[in-house]
Amino acid sequence: MATENKNLSQYDKSILPDASGFKIGIVVSEWNEQVTGGLHQGAVDALLDCGVLKEHLLEWQVPGSFELIYGCKRMSTTHAYLDAIIAIGCVIQGETKHFDFVCEGVTQGIKDLNMQGDIPVIFCVLTDNTLQQSLDRSGGKHGNKGVEAAIAAIKMAEIRRLSAF
């Protein structure tokens, strides 16, 4: 297991870019809210801890993980001032192929947004076999993948900022 011995919530603020001027969007799936709520809180807490101002956070909810693509696209086109967007979702394996279709669609959709758009979209979508695995990665024994996504957003926002010169 990739996260078996890694706590995703550990980061060193001293080596991160100054995030105080960054404006970050967060699009959160309502499906599997117990998990996505934890991921969302972890992302917000880390962003605030790293200096992003609360008033510089734009937060939207969408019904499910598949809808993250449209939510992120609309957020990027209607709020072009954003420096990065975090897409937060959770898809848990079930008894049908639905899991495969949703995971593939969301992954490709967010990849396409990054290829075609100007605002980096951070993939924070858990694709686990069980609810417990997702809970372990959204504030449980493996830390919080939302924190990791927030740190990735700050780093990508800095790349975007530096490439604008």
Q: For the chain, what's the residue count?
A: 165
3-state helix, strand, coil in the chain (%, to 5): 45, 20, 30
Is 98 marked active-site? yes
The 3-state DSSP class for residue 115 equals: helix
Catalytic residue among 40, 56, 79, 98: 98
- Residues 16/48, Cβ–Cβ less than 8 Å: no
Question: CA 115, CA 95: separation in Å to the nearest integer?
Answer: 33
Active site residue ranges = 98
